[in-house]
Amino acid sequence: MSVDLAPYLDAVPGLVVERLRAGRRVLAVSHENPDADTLGATLGVVRLAEALGGRADAVCTDPVPPLYAFIDGVERFVTDPVEATDYDLLVVSDCGSLDRIGAVRGRHPELFERLPRVVIDHHASNDAAGDADWIDPGAAATCEMVALVAARLGIGFDGEFGRGLAAGLMAGIVMDTATFAHPNATARTLAVSAALVEAGAPLSDISRRLYRSKPEAQLRLFGRILDRLESADGGRVVWSTLLEADVAATGAISSHSEGIIDLLAQADDAEVAILFKQAASATRISVRTKPGGVDATVLTGTFGGGGHARAAGASLDLPVDDARPLVLVEARRLAAAVVR
């Protein structure tokens, strides 16, 4: 490998390396409602554990959406740990909090509490403080961090194994940077990505699949949400709402809402863009903000959520018509304080 990642490897905590080397039966867990970053990072952990001579199971409490079927190895995900398995290490990838693991954690509380743990995550709002918890808000994606772990472990991206590892990690980086369009893409992100491309990760194909290829039902869903677009304060705050009826009417599936918030955030004057998602009697919000303006985690943190400064989310235990005005009051207050 001609791309030198050595200058970045000191960022990987030694205890993370030690626990991964020692793990013989690893439980690798993603977050609920999975995206490419949590899937790629979790599968990366599985591959690393196996390269070190151990065995690993990939667990996600929710089924993998069809959008991510191209990621090598996604068929390995199961919704629960394998029964009667003597796991000796838990690795949690891309979960901004342990609650983001979802219902599987509640189904197996003793197991999740008992196991030695490694957390690898890049959400600034993550307050995990275990001895082997590595939280790096400077990373564009958790997959970027897992790539550095691989390099620190001395596991290269050579051969068929390396290509599969590299491709999965590249999918997460492409997803979380919008193909390097977001300001979270740093020199380290580009160096890691260069190493993955050099190993055979198909960057252009991954970008096309994630950002330039959508089924007709998803486009129809986007149309309904865009038609419902609203704004306030001269366009400084824009929002729309995704109703459960929209999914049924268009023949879409819930994961087809992925990406619409980034489209709303393209509004020229918007300091804050919000998508309200109806979820039975509750409401989920996705938030995007412009660089140098509102910190999205401040807005979502008001409602118990978190994420990144430019992209964050939260869930409110309220119907969407009740949740929307509460969130908009705070969003408008924060946007009004931005001076450019």
How far apart (Å, rounded) are the C-alpha atoms in residues 115 and 94? 18
In this structure, are strands 55-59 and 89-93 parallel, antiparallel, or unpaired? unpaired
CA-based end-to-end distance of the chain: 44
Mapping DSSP to helix (H, G, I), strand (E, B) and coil, where does residue 224 land? helix
For domain 216-336, the CATH architecture is: Roll (3.10)
Higher pLDDT, 125 or 276: 276
pLDDT (tens digit per residue) in 61-71: 999 999 999 99
Q: Where are the domains of the chain?
A: 6-211, 216-336
**If pLDDT is split at 50, 70 and 90, which confidence band does 224 have?**
very high
**If pLDDT is split at 50, 70 and 90, which confidence band does 278 have?**
very high
- Mean pLDDT calculated for residue range 24-40: 97
Strands of the sheet containing 306-307, edge to edge, are 230-232, 237-242, 272-279, 282-289, 311-316, 306-307
Q: Which CATH class name applies to 6-211?
A: alpha beta
CA 291 to chain CA centroid, nearest Å: 19
- Mean pLDDT calculated for residue range 139-151: 98
- Mean pLDDT calculated for residue range 140-160: 95
Strands of the sheet containing 133-135, edge to edge, are 55-59, 25-29, 89-93, 117-121, 133-135
Share of the chain above pLDDT 70, in %: 100
Is the pLDDT confidence value at 1 over 80? no
pLDDT value for 2:
86
Which residues have C-beta within 8 Å of that of residue 256, sequence separation ≥ 6? Answer: 214, 215, 217, 218, 221, 247
pLDDT (tens digit per residue) in 162-220: 999 999 999 999 999 999 998 899 999 999 999 999 999 999 999 999 999 999 999 99
Closest CA to 261 of 248, 242, 245, 234: 242
Q: Tokens 């995990």 — which residue?
A: 128
- Mean pLDDT calculated for residue range 279-296: 95
- Mean pLDDT calculated for residue range 266-275: 97
Tokens of 310: 């430019």
Radius of gyration of the chain (CA): 20
Which residues have C-beta within 8 Å of that of residue 96, sequence separation ≥ 6? Answer: 31, 121, 123, 125, 126, 306, 307
Which ranges of 62-180 does DSSP label H, i.e. alpha helix?
103-107, 109-114, 142-152, 159-177
Strands (E), 8-136: 25-29, 55-59, 89-93, 117-121, 133-135
Angle at which helices 36-51 and 14-22 cross, to 10°: 60
Is the pLDDT confidence value at 79 over 70? yes
Share of the chain above pLDDT 90, in %: 94
